[in-house]
Structure formats: C-alpha cells, structure tokens
Structure 1
Amino acid sequence: MKVELKNTFNVNVSYGKCKRAKRLILEITQKGLIETVQNVLPDSHHRFCVKHIEANWCKRWRTDEFKKLLWWSAWSSYEEDFKDQLKSIGELSKEADESLLMYPPRAWCRAYFDTMCKNQKVENNFTESVNAWLVEASPHSLKIYNEYFKIGTTSCYVDINGDNGYEVREGTDKYTVNMVFKKCTCRGWDLTGIPCPHEIKALQLKRLEPMNEINWWYSKEAYLLTNKYKLQLVRGEKFWELDPSQTMEPPEFVKMAGRPKIKRTRQKDEAIKRQGE
C-alpha cells in the first residue's frame, strides 16, 4: 500500500498509518459484504468461517482462554448461552468483547443461524459437509445421532409432559421439547434436523423410534434430487464472445520494494515447519 500511494499520488505515508488504514478498510468491507450478499442473494445462507475470525481476532487476544471462549461463543446454539460466553470474555477484557462483536454474530454464531438449511457448521467446510450425503442417512448425521443418543439415554430425564411436548432435564438445565413443531429450546434439532438428546429422551418415553425423525434432507432421495442435473458443455476460451463494453484489463504491475519473498508469511502463533518434514 505504501508503494502504491507513492507511485500513484506521490505521497509518503508511514507504515503504521498504512496498517491502520488497511484494518479499517477490512472492517468496513466486512460489514458491506453482509449487506451486499443480503441484497443480491436474499435467500442465501451467508456465514463467516470462525477459523478465519480466530486468525484475525487472536492476533491481539492470543491466550488459549480467549480462543476457547471464541469457539464456545460460536458453538452456542441459543442466545442466552451466547451472552454468557460474551460475559466471560468481557470479564477477561472488555475491549476483547467489543472487538469480537464487530463481526456480526448472525454470520458466525449458531444462536442466530437460519434453521432452513439444517447445517450448524461454523467453519469453512459448510458445503463439504452437505456434499457428504451418500446413504439413506448420511454418515455425518448418523455420527451426530449416535452421540446425541448416548447423551439422551444417560444424562437426560423427563420431568413433566405438557399439552404439546415434554420438559427434559439435563444436569441443572431444563429444556422444553415441542413434538408438534419439532423444536427444542436448545435449538439443536432446529439447526441440524437431527433429534437432539432431549428430543430422543422424549421420543423414547412415547415409545417412538428417534431415527425416523431425522430430517428428509439427509436422505438419499434428497441427495439424488439435488444432483440430478448435469453440468453442460462449455467451449474453449478462444470461442467465447467478448463484449467490448465490458472488457477487463489486468491491473498495472507494480514492482515491490526489496527482495522478493520465497516463503509465505506465517502467523505469529503458527508452528514453524521443521527441516525434513
């Protein structure tokens, strides 16, 4: 940036000012990206990758405690739990709490995710997990179901049954399960489409099979319907029709100062690769 300003505007700017300006631009464009995607693609499920948020946010807040609380905040499936995690971060550093909220929670915290797509991933492999559907119920959903089944049968207890569902106790917390709308206050069932431990316990009390309550989107039929259209043929680049009014010129090459870098720049907390590995 410093070299570009010098070549373009003949202005000398300090390295510190360039760094602050770059950080400000990134913060502004991040907010603008959320609004732009919402306007252009209103039905898309736009999310941030928490791993990338960790890489940026933990440049200043580097302790393992901050990293742990960041991921716990992202994994919070309901708003009350998310606020408790933010409170824990604020007790360590109020400034860290405020800087984390600069990333819109609706784009990286499960508590604010849309429940339409039935995927609770907060990492960049959001689409990869969807593409893993290969059998009647995908291996990923079966793995989650088995974990929930173990928790539900060993740690959850039904206290009261109401008109539309049950009150399930797990440790010191209580959750309400609505059997009609297939919802639980933990939002685990809503986000994944897979019965949560509390729902599994309620279904067992009704002598119903929890496996039958896994959402249709995890079925082989849904997978085949999604991938039934083939990619059409595309001609080579020399056959493409070019519109003179929309031609794009490559950016002007700028020779950077100093010796060219051979190795990539590693993060400060990233492990250094040993010789021979």
Structure 2
Amino acid sequence: MSDRQKGVIGALKMYWPKASVRFCARHIYANFSTKYSGQKMRKLFWKASKTGDKYEFKKSLQDIGSIHPQAMAYLAAIEPCHWSRHAFDNSIKCDHVTNNMTEAFNNMLKDFRARTYLGLMEYIRRMVMSRFQLRKEECSKWGNGIPPTVNKKIKENSVECRILRTLHSGQGKYEMLGMNRAYTANLNDKTCECGQMQVSGVPCCHALAGIRHHFGVNGSQCTLEEYIDPALSNAAYLRTYDCMIRPIPDLCVWGDHVGAPIQPPPLKRKPGRPKLLRKRESTEKPKAARSGSVVCGKCRLPGHNSRTCKAEGSSVETKKTSKKNPVVTEDESAASSSKSSKKRQRLQ
C-alpha cells in the first residue's frame, strides 16, 4: 500500500517488480478533489473504490463522467488494480483501500521521530517485540473458533442478508434477489458476483444467505469455518506471530565499530521554525478547537474578557472594594468608638 510519494513507485518497480502494489484511495481522492470537488463526486469516487463488482465500478465512473468528463479521464488513467477492490489480487485476502494501518503505526512513534536513527530503530524494535508477544497471547485464547475480527464482519453481513430472497438452483449455486438487483453465489467455489467474498475471504451477505438456506438459520460456527479462507483462521494468526524478536543488550555494552565510521549526511537547515505536524489535506477535518465561550471576569457576561470590558460598574469590583474599603454607617462607628473607650478605661 503506497501513498505515491516521490520515488516510491520507481523504487517498487525496481526492487519488487512482481509485488502487488496498491495506492491509498484517500491520497488519490485528496489530489482528485483539488480539481473535481463536491459531495456527489466524493460519494461516487468512494463507491468506485470500495465496490468489488466490475459493473458497479464502471457505472460509478460513468456517473462521474456525466458530471465532469475530465474527472472520469483522470481516474481512468490510474490502473483499477491499484485503487479499486474489484481488480485486486484475490489471493491476498485483504480488502483495504487506504493505508490507515501505516498511518496508525507512524502515529505510534510520536516524539521518537525526532531522535537519532539508532534510537528510533531501537524504539520500533522494542515496540514490535512486545506487540508480537501480546498478539500471540491473545490468539492463543481464541481456541479453534472464528477470530473476533472475522466474526464481527460476519455479524455485520448477516444483518444485510435478512432482506434477501434466496433461490437455490442446485450444486451449491444460489441466486439472491435484493431490493435493487440480483446476485449469484457459488458456495462450492466460495465466489459471489459482488466480489467481496473473493477479496476479503469472508462470506458476504449473499453467501451468508445461501449458507443459511443450506444449513439452517441456527447453523454452528463450525459450519461457517468451511467458507472462511484459511488465511483468516486462528491457526494462520498464530503462525503470523509465532516468530520471536529477541531482546538486545543496551548500547553501552555493544562492541566497538570496525571500519570507517559512518557519518551523518550534511545538515542544511531550512529557514523558519521546523514543522513537526504533517500537512493536512483540504478534505480533512481541522483539529478540534477549544470549545466554550469566554466569560468576562468583571461583568460576568459572555463574549469578551475583563480587559476589553466596557461596562462602567461591575459586581466583582464592588466586591473587591468592599473588602478593602468597607462602607461604615454612623451607628456602627459610634458603637466601635464606645468599645474602644471602654478598653482604654480597663487598661488604665
């Protein structure tokens, strides 16, 4: 999964020419929206990116072309195998169209990105080492059932399959009639016309409707495991985290470097203050500002502070002045003077 930064595409072709490369759809839309914006254009773009059906993909592009012909040409210039699910390699069993996992990993580095290369690599090693062990312990508790993430997807798809009308034609082949169109599914081949089952490896809503018809609504999870790709099983998850990243002694006990010392590249400081935060795209939501209104400390009214307050008198000032210079009546002054005179007589 690539964000198509400078040099990335060329390096992938040079060092991994046979790799299945995907482009982050969010970054594609960020560049696309600078020329062709609009809420309707946005919905059609993501529909074309997330659909596993070739017909729906072409229809979405045609709808985009009806709004702006050049927008359709812009997307047609990018190979669908890089950003649309319907053209992904079905052997990978991953339906991600964005690089959110990479961005999440990058966000975990936090302040360590400003450290030296060696300090950053040591932090990544320790983080991955502990995370692998935690994942391994979690996977061992699952037993032989369906993994929680896969089970969650199945529950979401099972809600949608309730409105489908199932027609069985024999040999594991079904036709599902929905609200807008019909889809065909083959349970023996684990394929569906919508394409979601082939890409993700998890039965889609149409396949689940056929499975329910074949095994009954109260079918056990052992029945569903037959239609889930082996790459998404508990055993596959355990094999993923089976490897161990061994701990390394501290840097102070490492041996001396043999050979010429490695020098860092020459540092050329750019003018201005160094930027730590990444640049946000035009389509991204800005960082949430502080909520609430400002209340004046003098007049207690919202919308301004005590410095810009234009009120003549205020409750706070009167309270402060009353403590410093209290107002004394004639009766209170006479009583206080009599008390003081009595104290003088006693002392004498």
- Superposition TM-score, scaled by structure 2 size: 0.59
Structure 1: tracts of 5 or more residues without a match: 1-25
Q: Which amino acid in structure 2 is aligned with residue 225 of structure 1?
A: R
Please show how residues 97-108 of structure 1 align to structure 2 within 5 Å.
97-108=72-83
Contact 1:78-1:187 within 8 A present in 2 as well: yes
CA distance in 2, matches of 1:100, 1:201: 34
Matched, 1:68 2:83: no
Residues 67 and 37 of structure 1: is their aligned pair in 2 closer, same or farther, counting only changes over 3 Å? farther
**Of 2, 21, 26, which residue of structure 2 is paired with 1:51?**
26
Partner residue of 2:57?
82
Partner residue of 2:214?
206
CA distance in 1, matches of 2:59, 2:8: 25
Matched, 1:165 2:181: no
Q: Which amino acid in structure 2 is aligned with residue 250 of structure 1?
A: P
Matched, 1:229 2:204: no
Structure 2: tracts of 5 or more residues without a match: 105-131, 292-348
Deviation at 1:173, TM superposition (A): 1.8
Deviation at 1:193, TM superposition (A): 1.5
Stretch moving more, 143-152 or 213-222: 213-222
Q: Deviations over 1:94-125 (max 9, x none)?
A: 11111223332211110011112222111213
Please show how residues 137-216 of structure 1 align to structure 2 within 5 Å.
137-152=146-161, 154-207=162-215, 209=219, 211-212=224-225, 213-216=227-230
Contact 1:119-1:126 within 8 A present in 2 as well: no
Contact 2:30-2:283 within 8 A present in 1 as well: no
Q: Deviations over 1:226-269 (max 9, x none)?
A: 1111014557497586776xx6861562644xx44668554344
* 1:206 alignment partner, SS class: helix
CA distance in 2, matches of 1:78, 1:161: 22
* 2:36 alignment partner, SS class: coil
Q: Which amino acid in structure 2 is aligned with residue 178 of structure 1?
A: N
Would you say how many aligned residue pairs link Structure 1 and Structure 2?
243
Please show how residues 3-42 of structure 1 align to structure 2 within 5 Å.
32=10, 35-36=13-14, 38-39=16-17, 42=18
CA distance in 2, matches of 1:243, 1:138: 50
Identity of paired residues, percent? Answer: 23
- Superposition TM-score, scaled by structure 1 size: 0.73
Residues 185 and 274 of structure 1: is their aligned pair in 2 closer, same or farther, counting only changes over 3 Å? closer
CA distance in 2, matches of 1:189, 1:72: 17
* 1:167 alignment partner, SS class: strand
Partner residue of 2:281?
267
Partner residue of 1:253?
268
